[in-house]
Copies of this chain bind each other. A is one copy, B any other.
Amino acid sequence: MSNGKHKIVIVGGGFAGLNAARALRKADADITVIDRANHHLFQPLLYQVATGGLSPANISAPIRGLLSKNRNTRVVLGEVTGIDATNHTLETSSGELEYDTLVLAAGSTHSYFGNDAWAENASGLKTLDDATAIRRKILLAFEAAEQAKTEEERTGLLTFAIIGGGPTGVELAGAIGELSRQTLKNDFRNFDPSKARVLLIEAGNRILATYSESLSPKAEKALRKIGVEVMTGTMVTDVSEDGINVERRDSPDSPTQIPARTVLWAAGVQASPLGTMLVESLQQENASSVLELDRIGRVSVNPDFTMPGHPEIFVLGDLSSFSHQGDAPLRGTADVAAAEGKYAGKVISRRLKGKSSTKPFKFRDLGKLAVIGRSSAVADLKFVRFGGYLAWQFWLFIHVLKLVGYQNRTTVLVQWASSYFTRNRSARLITGKLDWGELTSDRAGEQQRTSERDAAQH
């Protein structure tokens, strides 16, 4: 496509990238969207896939399909492996890409705070493959418990430790609590699934720390009702194949070992390594430029999301650190990313038309929502905060409203209604080749790990 048109490359088909591309639909430019997956993902509902409540296709949509009406846009399935800001090129798995304008919106991944070895045993939740791997892990733990030969073994199999008391941790813990207390109630003969321990472990002194303080006890209460043990002020000091070591903040030096076959990681995120790659390329060009990545690897940007000295480079979404004058940086959620994408698309579009610059970006925060099981949620909105059934209804409404372009809203609504009334999580599938050793007590640790790693990749 070397027709002399302005070349825009958008890296990432998430909320930021997709919204930027859509805002550029009528731009007189050649746009390329490159992503490592063929689908855009509605991450706020990923925990539902991980716990068998929804299918992958319910919360995702092919990027091509979402952009098929952008006749100026081509979609490339591929990975960016290098950035050369001086020569305006990207190195990708599909060869070199030239750009006149670059939009980096590559998102974030899990962070194990330097304990990368934990990754093997504490699964994180960022992609559809993560979600089906976690679903498999949870369901296989129940299957193995049915076949366990000792009570000790069964206890470890029926302990689910979720590390991190943010929205993802709360939602995962709630869904697993429900799975064990309601969905699987009558499914096993050798044990009572409601005896499963679901632990939500948070180092800080309250869960949902980014929400208003009054909501944390509401959420805790709702979680306890469906069987979740909330452990605040508790630090995880080690994660191994057999379980976790924890230490209470108020009594250090008294570590406790908790056997747990299933450990899930919802404690931290880290921006995509493309941030580092960009900063390194810019510093190579100009060693005196001061470019900083924050603690979690996010790139600091100008008020219009461009890089200092590089108006042709935009960094958006979870990969960028943006603050309204003096405020804390905006959080890494879908609504923020979508707004930033729209804004950047508009800035680029106006530039191409030779118009003056756009009004500064202002994020209109409508609030935060987290769901706790089948019929409870907490809502932290601009002027009001509330919990319980009403919040859940509101949450449902908002999410269905946002599911534009995924499978149609009706399908998801029907499925939710059905699983609400039947307490059934119908997508309880174990997929991927099974290693029978995983199910029996004489399983070889190595085999199991290999197999779980494989599953996580598929």
Q: Which residues does A use to contact B, with CB under 8 Å?
A: 1, 36-39, 55-58, 60-62, 64-65, 68-69, 74-79, 93-95, 128-129, 132, 139, 143, 146-147, 184, 186-190, 406-408, 410-411, 414-415, 418, 422, 424, 426-434, 436, 439-440, 454-455, 457-458
Contact = CB atoms under 8 A, between A and B. Distances in A.
A336 B4 CA distance: 64
Contacts of A55: 55-58, 427
Nearest to A49: B57
B93 A427 contact: no
29 contacts: A1-B189, A38-B139, A55-B55, A55-B56, A56-B429, A56-B431, A57-B426, A57-B429, A60-B429, A62-B428, A68-B186, A69-B186, A74-B188, A74-B189, A76-B147, A77-B146, A77-B147, A94-B147, A95-B440, A129-B431, A129-B432, A407-B415, A408-B414, A410-B418, A411-B411, A454-B454, A454-B458, A455-B458, A457-B458
A146 B38 contact: no
Contacts of A408: 414-415, 418, 422, 426
Contacts of A57: 55, 426-427, 429
Contacts of A146: 74-77
A299 B73 CA distance: 58
B64 A188 contact: yes
Contacts of A64: 184, 187-188
Given A68-B186, A410-B418, A132 B436 contact: no
Contacts of A422: 408
Q: Across the A-B interface, give the 10 residue pairs with the lowest CB-CB distance, nearest first.
A: A458-B458, A93-B436, A57-B427, A433-B457, A55-B55, A432-B458, A68-B186, A64-B187, A74-B189, A38-B430
Nearest to A421: B408
Report how many copies the assembly holds. 2
Contacts of A94: 147, 436, 439-440
A209 to B, nearest CB: 33
A432 B128 CA distance: 9
A128 B429 contact: yes
Centre residue among A78, A128, A424, A426 by max chain B CB count within 10 A: A426
A39 B430 contact: yes
Nearest to A93: B436
Q: Could you say which of A60, A77, A93, A433 has the most chain B C-beta atoms within 10 Å of its C-beta?
A: A77
